[in-house]
Chains A and B, each alone.
Chain A
Amino acid sequence: MNKLLHVSKNLLLFILLAIILIFIITTILNNTKVPSNETVQKSKEPNFDIINPSFTINNEQKISVKAKRGNFISDQKILLENNVIIKSSKFKLKTSKMTFNQHNQTAESKELSRFQSKGTVIVSEGFEITENGNKIFFNGKTKLNLN
């Protein structure tokens, strides 16, 4: 028999079982998601206004905001989703969902967030950015690592 075609049956079985297991977990996770107010709202308005939104906050230090998707939830508020990144020359802040208020140039997130600046990493359960980026409040249980 050709050695190249000689594959262990046990290995094949293991790979097959692993694929099935991952598929089942993914399906369960997708189906058991408890719909929050925002997701209910989203189902009513599924069309996102902006794809790959990118803008800057007016400030002494230029702060850029990027995300994969954006949606106007009111005249002033934009809901940014998927890989939301706020970046300035001093720091980078990542989260999965964030609301940005155009009027007072504030940002808010209630999702797990990761802040990174020189020698500093902050992981929190959400954040608020006010005063054009001067004040950043990291909410909930928070962990800072300083080098």
Chain B
Amino acid sequence: MKPAAFQYFRPATLDEGLSLLAEHGDEAKVLAGGQSLVPMMNFRLARPEIIVDIGAIPGLNGVALDHERLTLGAKVRHFELEHPTFDGPLAQLFATAAAHVGHLPIRKRGTIGGSIAHADPAAEWCLLATALDAEIVVQSTRGSRNIPISDFFEMYFTTAIADDELLTEIWVPALRDDWKTGFSEFSRRAGDFAVVAVASAVRINDGKVTEARIAAAGVAGTPVRLVNAEAALIGTTPDADVLVDVAEIARSEVDPSGDLHGSSEYRQDLVRALTRRALSQSI
């Protein structure tokens, strides 16, 4: 339970940090809130030679919502999103999801950028980024690029971030006030990683669903959009019966593998239950 030896850097500027990543490549790991990396190092499951602690880099911690998008700095802590300084349908969704991230001490230290870069397929932020079509901004000494979320998560704990790149911002498209969001998570105990979680955002005009985004975590190596369920919901006048039908479609479009926290069938059952519960908040 003690980490293997490593070299520790705490760059004072973004440029310095990016230079370190450029120099050390895959031997380096970025340390932000440390809530995933440090336990993995203590178990010696991760043995980075170099730690680049981005804690002293100025910035990277902004929260700003304009008519176009919600921009979140990589170092924004979970706790700040549990008590958002912005409002609207996204605020409701982020606050609800943030309350499910670990326990209070974890939420006070862990960061959204760290969570998304870690890419645990059951993590709340990875789910929201997927549901909301976020873009992930990464920087390196080579420049900056935006990665659409559909290209970002590759598999369990694996993303499209290159070895010399640092995740600096998350861009979430703004939702107008005719959207409503929903979030439902099942975990064995308060504070655990989700067994399954479902996030939804639904746009209703004149009583009919015109746009829908539904995504599930805990059912594959990455969060997944439930496109069949979305399609089934669009155009309906959503009532309880519609949600039951859509939830059943959601259940049948996931094919999770089982593990000791839930069999494949059980996770499918959860997708159905949680989809209905999330959507009932979204209509």
Are A and B part of the same complex? no
Which A residues are closer than 8 A to B by beta carbons?
none
B: residues with CB less than 8 A from A are none
